[in-house]
Chains A and B, each alone.
Chain A
Amino acid sequence: MRLELTINGDPVRRDVAPDSVLLSVLRDDLQMVGTKWGCMTGDCGACTVLVDGSPVVSCLQLAAQVGGHSVTTIEGVAERGVLDQVQAAFVRNGAAQCGFCTPGMIMAVEALLDRHPGPVDEPLVRKELEGNLCRCTGYNKIIDAVLEVADLRAGDRACEHGHGGEPLTS
């Protein structure tokens, strides 16, 4: 089956097995192995990618259904080798240990911050990351990283609105 879609902004055309899931198209057909093959049952979130900006588990996503849509994977997050805000915050906060859950976790965080552009608190972060399992570093550092990015973005918005360079404090 001919599959045409956009991946990380680039048009992709590929012949794939008709019943392929998106994860196997990414990893096996396109050798984009940043997206991880975890439980293969939709439980662990390691294979999370964005389809039109919303998070899906690519292990259960019938590839045929994303034809014509726009997919963002972990490979599309950093620009020209420069980590984005979320990735940099994960590094600063020690939010990755073995790193296996990290690509899916980062994608889920990108979706979370898009969905909640305003203030976010810890219960909300935990709820929105409930579909991503981490088996080594634990969740506290990951949540710290997300809250830090949310604060940075609030500060950025304050700058845009003429409040000067300091993040707003309540």
Chain B
Amino acid sequence: MADVLTPTSVADAISMLGAHPGAHLVAGGTDVMLDLRTGRSHADSLIDLSRLSSQLSGIRAEGGRWRIGAMTTIRALEDDRELARQAPAIGEAATVLGSPQIRTMATIGGNLAHGTPSAEMPPPLLVHDASVELVGADGTRTIPLADLFVGPGRTSMRRPEILTAVVCDATDGGCGSVYLRQTVRWAMDLAGVGVAASVRVVDGRIETARIALGAVHPVPLLVPLASAVVVGHSYDPGLAREAGRLAAEACTPITDARGSSDYRRRVVAALVPRALRIAWLRATGQFTADRAPINGVLNEEGR
């Protein structure tokens, strides 16, 4: 039976984590409690972070960037209208994560720090150029989100560090982003494939583009070789397909209950062009809905 420790400050939590080598942090608990129940992990004690939620929650615009506290729930991300407008991929991923019950409990910090390759939030955050703030005994360091992920369930956090915030780009008029995914079920399922894309359009041409993949590699993966193909041009279906082909080549999906490796590569090749198209349509004001269809298939009116 694990003891529960209840820190009331980040400094408290760090010293508890340092003093208890067998302790696990519990934010929303939707991953940790499940892992403990199913025997995937063991904890001598649990450090309950819920008393830190007032300090570590909130979605704020700060100098053209979004700052999202680690204890912000997925539900809060789903409900934030301004975030949906300025970083639509993030809102879209939040909307399809788990279920209302899971979204109420789960936090963005937990979703990232758990290191799940198929987690919903990393791809949209990666295409919004996210960094994470890690606070340890010796102070705070900020690292690119891509550097947080080391392997399935493994991150570059150095115990007793705690992830306290995510900072990412807010987009303005010429930008667009989107998150698409393939799942076996529409709810309560991890992505079989997750694809996020963002583009910045200047004078009718794509100036920067990012594509990130979930569930098809040991870590959530940015694929710069694929996104580079569309840079310097206006949206072009042939170039978007080429980007999809390169993205499918760059990832190394496993075969499991959610699909074979080959199938997942084909889904990546199909979803990347759709994602690039919707990101382009958003950046150029031709697609204004808060949420794109999750499979990226637009109807004839382009909605």
Contact = CB atoms under 8 A, between A and B. Distances in A.
Interface residues of B, number: 27
Contacts of B188: 42-43, 130-131
Contacts of B187: 130-131
A62 B100 contact: no
Contact of A57 (B46, B48, B105): B105
Interface string B67-102: 000000001000000000000000000000011111
Given A40-B37, A41-B37, A131-B187, A65 B48 contact: yes
Contacts of B33: 21, 60-62
Interface residues of A, number: 28
A43 B48 CA distance: 23
A61 B37 CA distance: 12
A18 interface: yes
Interface in B102-144: 102, 104-105
A54 B50 CA distance: 15
Interface stretch (B1-9, B56-64, B206-214, B254-262): B1-9
Contacts of B36: 19
Given A17-B1, A131-B187, A57 B50 contact: no
Contacts of A42: 30, 34, 98, 101-102, 188
B18 interface: no
Contacts of B6: 64
Contacts, number: 83
Nearest to A64: B4
B38 interface: yes
A54 B29 contact: no
A67 B238 CA distance: 57
B157 interface: no
Interface string A61-74: 11011000000000
A2 to B, nearest CB: 11
Main secondary structure of the interface of B (DSSP, over half): mixed
Nearest to A19: B2
B101 A62 contact: no
A111 B104 CA distance: 11
B75 A60 contact: no
A56 interface: yes
B4 A60 contact: no
A45 B104 CA distance: 13
A65 B50 contact: yes
A124 to B, nearest CB: 11
A128 interface: yes
Nearest to B2: A19
Given A62-B29, A62-B48, A111 B4 contact: no
A131 B105 contact: no
Contacts of A130: 99-100, 186-188
A62 B34 contact: no
A55 interface: yes
Interface in A43-102: 43, 45, 48, 51, 54-57, 60-62, 64-65
A21 B32 CA distance: 12
B37 A56 contact: no
A48 B105 CA distance: 12
B26 interface: yes
Contacts of B98: 42, 131
A131 B100 contact: yes
B102 A18 contact: no
Contacts of B2: 18-19
A17 to B, nearest CB: 6
Interface of A: 1, 17-19, 21, 40-43, 45, 48, 51, 54-57, 60-62, 64-65, 108, 111-112, 128, 130-132
8 contacts: A42-B34, A45-B99, A57-B99, A61-B105, A62-B29, A128-B100, A131-B98, A131-B101
Closest 5 CB pairs of A and B: A131-B99, A130-B187, A19-B2, A65-B50, A18-B4
